[in-house]
């Protein structure tokens, strides 16, 4: 996940491959709450790990549920048949609507002394219709801030269940879902009827709810979309084990990707034709726009069909979340696309109609909007504008606009606050980059070259983390090569040059965070020693060895970008890199830093010896015949003798920004 202020997407040219998507947010949080209300234990597989599910899990723990998380398998021991806590509890719900609504209903129907709060945006998202329905039932709920909005306080109800309970269906279907999941708590000795007032929106989400309730032993009787009856004697029963299917809304970005990008197609695993999620019908909308789709029970395969895509007019009430993706596909169409019946967009994580319109306009598109519709005109080649997409703390806005990077004008796209995708899809961008392709020349590389112990590694890896880029420590490759050569009984000089080069060409090296693994053996400490550096310097003068490592180094240039540190990154390996930094510091300074570093790790060290070694390595690295250490002609010099690491990082970022 990218915890960085923005992510720059280089122009993307194609996509192909297989993606496995995370579990559905809607299903995950429903399953968690239902498992919590059951008696006994439920093993939930493929649970989504996201902000919303973490909020729900934290709340369930506060209520006294057993919660055991083993990566994506979570075991819940329910509260059914057990006493709920009697003390006052305060729940923090973040901005997680899928946790806030059903939990409010369950807590209010059961009763206790509970306070539910969230972030500011949560306090701006209406909940009055749910509270009205719950009050009608006899629940005791007070508003602690503005009337109609969280935060809320819930107390002991005095239930009145004899007449049908009215709930508005035209603001958010989550209110009805919340009631359907909570009311079985009160249906032991009587049937309970819910009556929907107004046209029910987002019916497919209600179908998910009914489907899952059935899995948990609650057979709700549905009379049209107006009346729902929970039969007398209803009791939550654990299904024992349940699998969460992949999120169909998340699939929409990859369905769109298959429709937009050139390539052999995209295969999506985890969700398909048998899905219980309404958003799976996004597939039909994508087909209308031109996508070619094949599907099986839990997979989809999408390839580009009509190109440009076809502009459409579509009532999107049945696919409210996934429909946002259509608004970005519309930029690639042959005529305008009008999406109607999307009033619910206005009360989601942000006002999504306004957000999609504003950001499409920033890309250069002409967009019209109304209270419950949006009309997006396509963007012709030559009209795309370079812009920075604001994401409004809305995961879907961020994911949608990543698709704009496929524009024919090869305009890069900046996505602000990319970590907001964590709400439903923490690894969205990594998943996208694994299947998307770009012209290698368009994938940005920043080179940081300089002498031993100048702090290149720290600087480069910190800048990489700031930008969300990959990191190549080329020195480690020479160190590992020398290590492997010594292990093979070779001498580190010209006599064994061909053999060392052969080893280097097929080096089984892998980087795992800070660790360096050679044939899956951790060699980090061995190669990081002073002797390891000296050995690397020796093999690095051998031209055949340098040549043998070129392809491996080039292979690090992957989306979304690369920070490369070494001696010849800017001069030999990436001569066209848009930013090259040559880092220097006096030998005295470097010896002092290295000395501190070694002492802090518990090694003994002599500062004069260190300085002599550094100077010897500098001399060899700068005087060798091939790829000697020297600044590239277009490198910017950075003398960090007097700079803190933070200041050096900032300097490189400033240079990068100004390259724009």
Q: Which of 453, 394, 389 is nearest to 586 (CA)?
A: 453
Touching ligand DC, residues 605-634 (CB under 6 A) = 617, 621
> Shortest approach of ligand DC to residue 542 CB, angstroms?
10
Closer CB to ligand DC, 361 or 528, in the complex: 528
Query: Does 359 contact ligand DC by CB under 6 A?
Result: no
Query: Does 110 contact ligand DC by CB under 6 A?
Result: no
Q: Which of 358, 491, 459, 467 is nearest to 412 (CA)?
A: 467
Residue nearest ligand DC by beta-carbon distance = 475
Residues in contact with ligand DC, total (CB under 6 A)? 14
CA atoms within 13 A on the CB side of 100: 27
Closer CB to ligand DC, 184 or 533, in the complex: 533
Closer CB to ligand DC, 375 or 567, in the complex: 567
Q: Which of 186, 184, 163, 166 is nearest to 176 (CA)?
A: 166
Give me 470's structure tokens. 């990959």
Query: Does 536 contact ligand DC by CB under 6 A?
Result: yes
Query: Does 151 contact ligand DC by CB under 6 A?
Result: no
Using CB under 6 A, which of the segments 128-136, 204-212, 326-334, 561-569 binds ligand DC? 561-569
> Shortest approach of ligand DC to residue 564 CB, angstroms?
8
- Give the C-alpha separation, 196 to 225, whole Å: 7
> Shortest approach of ligand DC to residue 567 CB, angstroms?
4
Q: Which residues contact 531 (CB under 8 A, 6 or more apart)?
A: none
Closer CB to ligand DC, 211 or 515, in the complex: 515
Query: Which burial class, exposed, middle or buried, applies to 535 when counting CB atoms under 10 A from its CB (0-12, 13-18, 19+)?
Result: buried
Using CB under 6 A, which of the segments 72-80, 267-275, 562-570, 584-592 binds ligand DC? 562-570
- Give the C-alpha separation, 429 to 318, whole Å: 27
Catalytic: 315? no
Closer CB to ligand DC, 226 or 512, in the complex: 512
- Give the C-alpha separation, 301 to 414, whole Å: 28
Query: One symbol per residue from 471 to 500: x for binding ligand DC (CB under 6 A), - otherwise; what is it?
Result: ---xx--xx---------------------
- Give the C-alpha separation, 193 to 226, whole Å: 10
293 in Cβ contact with 300 (< 8 Å)? yes
Closer CB to ligand DC, 325 or 540, in the complex: 540
> Shortest approach of ligand DC to residue 632 CB, angstroms?
12
Q: Give the residue, chosen from 102, 169, 566, 570, that forms a contact with ligand DC under the rule CB under 6 A.
A: 566
Using CB under 6 A, which of the segments 128-136, 235-243, 291-299, 530-538 binds ligand DC? 530-538
What is the Cα 347 distance to its own chain's centre?
A: 23
Closer CB to ligand DC, 173 or 540, in the complex: 540
Strand 262-269 and strand 14-20: the pairing is parallel
Question: Would you mind telling me the total number of residues written for the chain in this entry?
Answer: 660
367 in Cβ contact with 357 (< 8 Å)? yes
> Shortest approach of ligand DC to residue 464 CB, angstroms?
15
CA trace torsion 410, 414, 419, 420 (10° rounding): -100
Query: One symbol per residue from 416 to 455: x for binding ligand DC (CB under 6 A), - otherwise; what is it?
Result: ------------------------------------x---
Query: Does 149 contact ligand DC by CB under 6 A?
Result: no
> Shortest approach of ligand DC to residue 494 CB, angstroms?
16
**DSSP output for 507-548:** --EEEETTEEEETTEE-HHHHHSHHHHHHHHHHTT-HHHHHH
Query: Does 567 contact ligand DC by CB under 6 A?
Result: yes
> Shortest approach of ligand DC to residue 473 CB, angstroms?
7
Using CB under 6 A, which of the segments 8-16, 25-33, 254-262, 564-572 binds ligand DC? 564-572
452 in Cβ contact with 617 (< 8 Å)? yes
30 in Cβ contact with 37 (< 8 Å)? no
Using CB under 6 A, which of the segments 142-150, 151-159, 199-207, 529-537 binds ligand DC? 529-537
User: What is the DSSP-derived secondary structure letter of residue 143?
Assistant: E
Using CB under 6 A, which of the segments 322-330, 352-360, 401-409, 536-544 binds ligand DC? 536-544
> Shortest approach of ligand DC to residue 480 CB, angstroms?
10
SS3 of 619, please? Answer: helix
Using CB under 6 A, which of the segments 393-401, 406-414, 470-478, 489-497 binds ligand DC? 470-478
> Shortest approach of ligand DC to residue 474 CB, angstroms?
4
- Give the C-alpha separation, 23 to 42, whole Å: 17
378 in Cβ contact with 334 (< 8 Å)? yes
Closer CB to ligand DC, 104 or 537, in the complex: 537
Phi, psi of 107, rounded to the nearest 5 degrees: -65, -40
Closer CB to ligand DC, 378 or 455, in the complex: 455
- Give the C-alpha separation, 521 to 548, whole Å: 22
> Shortest approach of ligand DC to residue 36 CB, angstroms?
52
Q: Which of 268, 264, 273 is nearest to 251 (CA)?
A: 268
Query: Does 533 contact ligand DC by CB under 6 A?
Result: yes
Closer CB to ligand DC, 36 or 482, in the complex: 482
Alpha helices in 16-63 (DSSP H): 25-37, 51-63
565 in Cβ contact with 456 (< 8 Å)? yes
Query: Does 568 contact ligand DC by CB under 6 A?
Result: yes
Closer CB to ligand DC, 168 or 567, in the complex: 567
CA atoms within 13 A on the CB side of 384: 17
> Shortest approach of ligand DC to residue 540 CB, angstroms?
3
- Give the C-alpha separation, 499 to 91, whole Å: 64
Q: Of residues 52, 129, 247, 321, which has the active-site annotation?
A: 321
Closer CB to ligand DC, 204 or 450, in the complex: 450
- Give the C-alpha separation, 15 to 112, whole Å: 53
CA atoms within 13 A on the CB side of 647: 7
Q: Which of 155, 148, 180, 156 is nearest to 167 (CA)?
A: 180
167 in Cβ contact with 213 (< 8 Å)? no
Using CB under 6 A, which of the segments 302-310, 463-471, 563-571, 584-592 binds ligand DC? 563-571
> Shortest approach of ligand DC to residue 466 CB, angstroms?
21
Using CB under 6 A, which of the segments 164-172, 351-359, 411-419, 534-542 binds ligand DC? 534-542
CA atoms within 13 A on the CB side of 482: 24
SS3 of 594, please? Answer: helix
Q: Give the residue, chosen from 35, 95, 424, 537, that forms a contact with ligand DC under the rule CB under 6 A.
A: 537
Give the residue numbers marked as catalytic.
321
**Which residues in this chain contact ligand DC in the complex, by CB under 6 A?**
452, 474-475, 478-479, 533, 536-537, 540, 566-568, 617, 621
């Amino acid at each position: 996940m990218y915890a960085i202020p923005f992510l720059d997407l280089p122009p993307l040219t194609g996509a192909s491959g297989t993606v496995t998507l995370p579990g559905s947010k809607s299903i995950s949080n429903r399953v968690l709450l239902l498992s919590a209300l059951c008696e006994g234990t439920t093993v939930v597989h493929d649970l989504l790990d996201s902000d919303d599910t973490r909020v729900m899990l934290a709340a369930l723990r506060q209520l006294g549920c057993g919660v055991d998380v083993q990566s994506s398998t979570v075991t819940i021991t329910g509260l059914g048949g057990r006493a709920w806590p009697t003390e006052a509890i305060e729940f923090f719900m973040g901005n997680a609507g899928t946790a806030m609504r059903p939990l409010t209903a369950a807590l209010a129907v059961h009763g206790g002394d509970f306070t539910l709060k969230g972030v500011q945006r949560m306090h701006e998202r209406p909940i009055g219709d749910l509270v009205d329905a719950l009050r009608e039932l006899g629940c005791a709920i007070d508003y602690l801030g503005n009337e109609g909005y969280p935060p809320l306080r819930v107390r002991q109800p005095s239930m009145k269940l004899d007449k049908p309970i009215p709930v508005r269906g035209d603001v958010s279907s989550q209110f009805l879902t919340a009631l359907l999941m909570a009311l079985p708590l009160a249906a032991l000795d009587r049937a309970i009827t819910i009556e929907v007032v107004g046209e029910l929106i987002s019916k497919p989400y209600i179908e998910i709810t009914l489907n899952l309730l059935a899995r948990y032993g609650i057979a709700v009787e549905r009379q049209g979309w107006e009346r729902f009856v929970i039969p007398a004697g209803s009791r939550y029963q654990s299904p024992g084990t349940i699998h969460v299917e992949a999120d169909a809304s998340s699939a929409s970005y990859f369905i769109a990707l298959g429709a937009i990008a050139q390539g052999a197609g995209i295969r999506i695993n985890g969700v398909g034709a048998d899905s219980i999620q309404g958003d799976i019908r996004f597939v039909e909308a994508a087909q209308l726009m031109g996508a070619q789709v094949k599907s099986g029970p839990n997979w989809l395969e999408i390839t580009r069909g009509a190109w440009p895509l076809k502009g459409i007019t579509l009532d999107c009430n049945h696919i409210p979340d996934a429909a946002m993706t259509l608004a970005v596909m519309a930029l690639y169409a042959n005529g305008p696309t009008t999406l109607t019946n999307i009033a619910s967009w206005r009360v989601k994580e942000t006002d999504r109609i306004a957000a999609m319109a504003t950001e499409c306009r920033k890309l250069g598109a002409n967009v019209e909007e109304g209270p419950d519709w949006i009309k997006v005109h396509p963007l012709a080649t030559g009209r795309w504008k370079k812009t920075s997409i604001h994401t409004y703390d809305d995961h879907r806005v961020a994911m949608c606009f990543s698709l704009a990077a496929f524009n024919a004008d090869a305009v890069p796209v900046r996505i602000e606050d990319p970590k907001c995708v964590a709400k439903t899809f923490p690894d969205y961008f990594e998943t996208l980059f694994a299947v998307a392709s770009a012209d290698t020349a368009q994938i940005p590389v920043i080179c940081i070259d300089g002498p031993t112990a100048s702090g290149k590694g720290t600087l480069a890896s910190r800048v990489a983390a700031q930008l969300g880029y990959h990191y190549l420590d080329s020195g480690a490759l020479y160190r590992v090569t020398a290590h492997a050569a010594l292990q093979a009984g070779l001498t580190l000089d010209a006599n064994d040059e061909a053999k060392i080069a052969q080893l280097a060409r097929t080096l089984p090296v892998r980087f795992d965070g800070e660790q360096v693994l050679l044939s899956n053996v951790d060699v980090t400490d061995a190669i990081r020693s002073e002797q390891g550096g000296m050995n690397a310097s020796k093999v690095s003068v051998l031209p055949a060895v340098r040549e043998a490592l070129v392809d491996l180094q080039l292979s690090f240039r992957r989306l979304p970008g690369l920070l490369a540190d070494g001696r010849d990154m800017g001069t030999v390996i990436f001569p066209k890199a848009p930013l090259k930094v040559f880092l220097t510091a006096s030998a005295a300074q470097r010896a002092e830093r290295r000395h501190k570093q070694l002492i802090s790790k518990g090694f003994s060290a002599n500062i004069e010896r260190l300085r002599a070694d550094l100077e010897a390595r500098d001399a060899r690295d700068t005087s060798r015949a091939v790829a000697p250490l020297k600044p590239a002609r277009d490198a910017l010099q950075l003398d960090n003798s007097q700079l803190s690491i933070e200041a050096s990082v900032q300097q490189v970022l400033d240079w990068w920004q100004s390259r724009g």
